[in-house]
Amino acid sequence: MRPDAVRGHLDGLILAVLEDEPRHGYAIIEALQARSGGALDLPTGTVYPALRRLERAALLSGTWSTVAGRERRTYTLTRAGRHALAGQRAEWHEFSAVMDAVLRPVRAAGEAS
């Protein structure tokens, strides 16, 4: 998949992997890899700024902790974040339907299906 493909849909992806449990940035990247069967391998320079953006937008709340000597920032979905996730899912379904409708090859009128 080309690098830019997730543009405009990254927020939904991040919110989705935080739905079941809070995760820190690195774990979010790994979760996206796992759930996508390896297709998504987002660079840290994409994910970390996005997390800060989502936190600034109050869709996530982040807390620092130290685990095995390493600093972690763990993000949890806020109530607004859960709401936004629902919205992202709805938008995705609409957009996906539009893409399918337009991309599907058109049959000439009267052509057998």
Question: Under the rule (CB under 7 A), what is the footprint of DNA?
Answer: 3-4, 6-11, 24-27, 42-46, 48-53, 67-74
Q: Which is nearer to DNA, 38 or 110 (CB)?
A: 38
Question: What one-character-per-residue DSSP string does the chain give?
Answer: --GGGGTTTHHHHHHHHTTSS-EEHHHHHHHHHHHTTT-----HHHHHHHHHHHHHTTSEEEEEEEETTEEEEEEEE-HHHHHHHHHHHHHHHHHHHHHHHHHSPPPPTT---
Mark the segment that binds its own copies (CB under 8 A) among 28-36, 49-57, 58-66, 71-79: 28-36
Q: Which does 95 bind (CB under 5 to 8 A by kind): its own copies, DNA, none?
A: its own copies
